[in-house]
């Protein structure tokens, strides 16, 4: 991955975390990694634990950012969620998988779209 793409991704994750925190969610982990992969954000929403994939796109040429969360990515995120819960010892009333789209705009603030229970 290029440095520019990494910077864009990191920017999107910072915006997504701030957006979610402003809505009352609490960040438990950012960029949690294990041998099987990475989860962008893990948050607490009341008694629920939220595993969040952040997708940032600078152009709509390839469709909406959430379209990049394909069935393979969904399977991987579910596997990672089980692993994180087991390793952290965290309990949850419910587990939810959200996607946050970040779309930088030519002028003004970036557009942030929070898709709750995306899958």
What are the residue boundaries of the structural domains of the chain, listed by start? 3-115
Per-residue pLDDT of 2-21, as tens digits, reads 898 899 999 999 999 999 99
Per-residue pLDDT of 62-79, as tens digits, reads 889 999 999 999 999 999
- What pLDDT does 72 receive? 97
**Length of the chain in terms of residues written:** 119
Q: Is the pLDDT of residue 50 over 70?
A: yes
- Give pTM, 2 decimals: 0.93
Q: What would the two tokens of residue 101 be?
A: 């789209």
The alpha carbon of 40 is separated from its chain's Cα centroid by a whole number of angstroms, namely 5
- What pLDDT does 45 receive? 98
Per-residue pLDDT of 101-117, as tens digits, reads 999 888 989 999 999 99
Mean of all residue pLDDT scores within the chain? 95
- What pLDDT does 1 receive? 62
The CATH class, in words, for 3-115 is alpha beta
Give exposure, 70-101, as e/b (b: 16+ Cβ within 10 Å).
eeeeeebbeebbebbbeeeeeeeeeebbbbbb
Collapsed DSSP state (helix, strand, coil) of residue 96: strand
| Partners of 33 in the β-ladder | 38
- What pLDDT does 55 receive? 97
Mean pLDDT within 75-87: 97
């Amino acid at each position: 991955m290029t440095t520019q793409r990494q910077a864009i991704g990191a920017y999107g994750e910072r915006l997504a975390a701030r957006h979610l925190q402003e809505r009352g969610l609490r960040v438990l982990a950012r960029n949690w990694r294990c041998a099987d992969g990475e989860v962008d954000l893990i948050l607490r929403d009341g008694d629920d634990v939220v595993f969040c994939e952040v997708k940032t796109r600078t152009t709509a040429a390839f469709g909406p950012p959430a379209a990049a969360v394909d069935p393979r990515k969904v399977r991987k995120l579910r596997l990672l969620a089980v692993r994180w819960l087991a390793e952290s010892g965290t309990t949850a009333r419910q587990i939810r998988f959200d996607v946050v789209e970040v779309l930088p705009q030519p002028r003004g603030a970036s557009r942030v779209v929070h898709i709750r229970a995306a899958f």
